[in-house]
Amino acid sequence: MPAPKHLDTRLLRVFVAVAEELHFTRAAARLYLAQQALSRDIRRLERELGVDLFVRSTRRVALSADGERLLPYARRVLAAQDELFAAFGEVRPLLVDLNSPGLSTGRRVLHLARELAPEYELMARFESGLAFAAAELLAGRLDASFGRFAGLDPVLRSQLGQQLVRYEPMAVVLPEDHRLAALPEVPLVALAGEAVYAGAGNPRTPEWTDLARRLFAGRGIEIAPPAPLAVGDEEFQRIMAKTRTPVLAVVDFPALPRTVVRPLVDPVPLSPVSLVWRRGLEHPGFNALRRAAARLAEEEGWLRKPVGYWIPATDNNIISVHK
């Protein structure tokens, strides 16, 4: 077996999972990876080592002779890595951007991750937009964030990993005396002629403005011009009372005094929310974050699409998991 100059220990973790499960689907589920991504990582490891690690057939997977030889070394390397983390005291906090204090998807994932890994510190940050958070991820000032992955610049996407977590139904926030406030749900056609605020001009949230632009196209709904950036509930409420402009949001957006939140229907627009991180991230708390995201998506049905849904065509293929 030729000795590589550099070996990503993440690939060794993937290898050990497959070697122990002898089943690619079970190993992928154990690691919360898409099977395609796991297979790609195994092929990459085999290329770097210049050997076949598994004997594959339509019925079974078995370790090759080189795979049998690698397995004890891989386990020792991973054990040493874990000991190295422990030797230097407490692992640094994992910094997780939740976008905004009022949004529930990221907050619920973070809370469950803390339950799954109470020995690690997972700390919330609030950066108000994935586009801004992406730059912070790449700079190492954040570890993970949540948002619409397809709305990022392709150059940024190529440097980030993502795990689709939820198709979040969208809503509109209205002044309580707005003409549509009495409706339990607001059909999109009812917004024709309105100008709806969707973060236009906010450099932190262009992915949200882009989502609104695609949703409103051909429906007679305008995107409201830029407004002063409101930070905090009190400022948001004050600016909304002053402009009286409906605001595009999601159904879990917290109701504020003198406003109502109404789901949008006909069709039901969905905001695709992914857990996003910089590629190559190594942190024991990160595994708990991904497990929490996958568990909630399964238990809450977050990835089920309702009848008559809408998402942008650009987001339809954002389903795979990248490391």
Q: What pLDDT, on the 0 to 100 scale, is given for residue 2? A: 55
Residues 141 and 215 placed together within one structural domain of the fold:
no
Within-domain flag for 282: yes
Work out the average pLDDT over 120-136: 90
Query: What's the number of domains the chain is made of?
Result: 3
Q: What pLDDT, on the 0 to 100 scale, is given for residue 119? A: 86
Q: What pLDDT, on the 0 to 100 scale, is given for residue 66? A: 94
From CA 205, how far away is CA 248, in angstroms rounded? 13
- Work out the percent of the chain whose per-residue pLDDT is above 90: 54
Residue 56 is inside which H or E element, if any? strand 54-56
Token output for 302: 């977050």
From CA 86, how far away is CA 171, in angstroms rounded? 46
Peptide bond before 225: cis, by omega within 30 degrees of 0? no
Residues 187 and 142 placed together within one structural domain of the fold:
no
- Range with the lowest mean pLDDT among 169-178, 267-276, 280-289? 280-289
Answer whether 264's CB lies under 8 Å from 196's CB: no
Greatest extent of the chain over all pairs of C-alpha atoms, in Å: 73
Residues 292 and 143 placed together within one structural domain of the fold:
yes
Work out the average pLDDT over 196-218: 93
Residue type, 274: S
Backbone angles phi, psi at 113, to 5 degrees: -60, -40
From CA 199, how far away is CA 212, in angstroms rounded? 9
Q: What pLDDT, on the 0 to 100 scale, is given for residue 201? A: 86
| Confidence band for 211, pLDDT divided at 50, 70 and 90 | very high
pLDDT in tens, 7-55: 888 889 889 989 988 988 888 777 766 788 888 899 999 999 999 999 9
Answer whether 246's CB lies under 8 Å from 178's CB: yes
Coil, helix or strand at residue 286: helix
Apex 90 CA angle, 84 and 92, nearest 5 = 95
Which of 63, 87, 111 is where one domain is finished? 87
Within-domain flag for 1: no
Q: Which residue has the tokens 């586009």?
A: 131
Coil, helix or strand at residue 163: strand
Q: What pLDDT, on the 0 to 100 scale, is given for residue 83? A: 72
Which is nearest to 196 in space by CA: 182, 183, 208? 208
Residues 195 and 230 placed together within one structural domain of the fold:
yes
DSSP state of 117: -
Within-domain flag for 156: yes
Q: What pLDDT, on the 0 to 100 scale, is given for residue 197? A: 92
Token output for 187: 């059909």
From CA 280, how far away is CA 8, in angstroms rounded? 9
Answer whether 252's CB lies under 8 Å from 85's CB: no
pLDDT in tens, 158-200: 899 999 999 999 999 998 899 999 999 999 999 999 999 998 8
Residues 255 and 214 placed together within one structural domain of the fold:
yes
Helix, strand, coil percentages (3-state) for the chain, rounded to 5, are: 40, 20, 40
Q: What pLDDT, on the 0 to 100 scale, is given for residue 90? A: 60
- Range with the lowest mean pLDDT among 23-27, 32-36, 228-232, 294-298? 228-232
Q: What pLDDT, on the 0 to 100 scale, is given for residue 21? A: 87
Q: What pLDDT, on the 0 to 100 scale, is given for residue 273? A: 96
Average pLDDT, the chain: 87
DSSP state of 151: G
Within-domain flag for 319: no
Contacts of 261 (CB under 8 A, 6+ apart): 171, 172, 173, 174, 249, 251, 253, 254, 255
Full domain range(s) for residue 49: 9-87
From CA 56, how far away is CA 187, in angstroms rounded? 53
Query: Could you tell me which residue, 227 or 307, shows the higher pLDDT?
Result: 307
The secondary structure of 159-185 as a DSSP string is TEEEEEEEEEEEEEEEETTSTTTT-SS
The pLDDT of residue 321 is above 60:
no
The top-scoring range by mean pLDDT among 27-31, 79-83, 227-231, 308-312 is: 308-312
The pLDDT of residue 323 is above 60:
no
Answer whether 204's CB lies under 8 Å from 130's CB: no
Q: What pLDDT, on the 0 to 100 scale, is given for residue 230? A: 64
Q: What pLDDT, on the 0 to 100 scale, is given for residue 228? A: 65
Torsion on CA atoms 41, 43, 47, 51, rounded to nearest 10: 120
The pLDDT of residue 254 is above 90:
no
Within-domain flag for 189: yes
Query: Could you tell me which residue, 85 or 217, shows the higher pLDDT?
Result: 217
Q: How many CB atoms lie within 10 A of CB 83?
A: 9
Which of 70, 87, 104 is where one domain is finished? 87
166: β partners: 273
Residues 135 and 16 placed together within one structural domain of the fold:
no
Answer whether 173's CB lies under 8 Å from 249's CB: yes
pLDDT in tens, 71-111: 999 989 888 877 776 666 567 889 999 988 778 999 999 99
Work out the average pLDDT over 256-265: 91
Q: What pLDDT, on the 0 to 100 scale, is given for residue 165? A: 95
